[in-house]
Amino acid sequence: MREESIIVPKEFCRQPFYSNGDTIEISDQYFSLESIWNDQYFYHDIHYTVKTSSSQIRKPWVTPNIIGKMALDQWKKEGLPTLQQLFSHRDRKGARPLMIKYLAVYLQMMHWSNGEPIKCLHHIEEQIQSLSFAPLNVTERVSFILTTPDHHHSFTALSQLFNESVKKIAIHHFKK
């Protein structure tokens, strides 16, 4: 197993995820999506961007038909109930890291379900809008969540986005 610390590429330096100069650990070892989603934002996308010549990179976007289900299962199993509890106790500080995590999962789900990695977070709202299965007003809703991830309205918007997108992705893949 080879592990190294890398500086997050500028394409992925966007708040609330990463700032310029942040580092992450990447490894050639296999990790489950769930464990990666728990530890780092956009791990596979960054790994792919940095190590494009490596054949050891796992590319979840090559199996887009299962990504939506995995992301939704993770959201329903952990994200939704935990965030509901945090927001019911008005714990915005506790909800913030989970909201950021699940926003990252949502963005990956949208891109990976389209068969491609995320290449850049700048203008991600417009990138998602161009997908054939994007929900209505996705640009405005993602932009709102990015700027206020610790608000209850952001939680409501993210929950709606997950539900709407998974349905549209399923229809999109069914038509193929």
Model confidence at 176, pLDDT cuts 50, 70, 90, reads low
Residue 143: partners with Cβ closer than 8 Å, 6 or more residues away: 125
* Domain chopping of the chain, boundaries: 3-50, 60-175
pTM of the model: 0.91
In this predicted model, which residue has the larger pLDDT, 38 or 105? 105
**Encoded tokens for 36:** 């990666």
pLDDT tens digit sequence for 21-60: 999 887 766 566 666 677 789 988 998 888 755 556 778 8
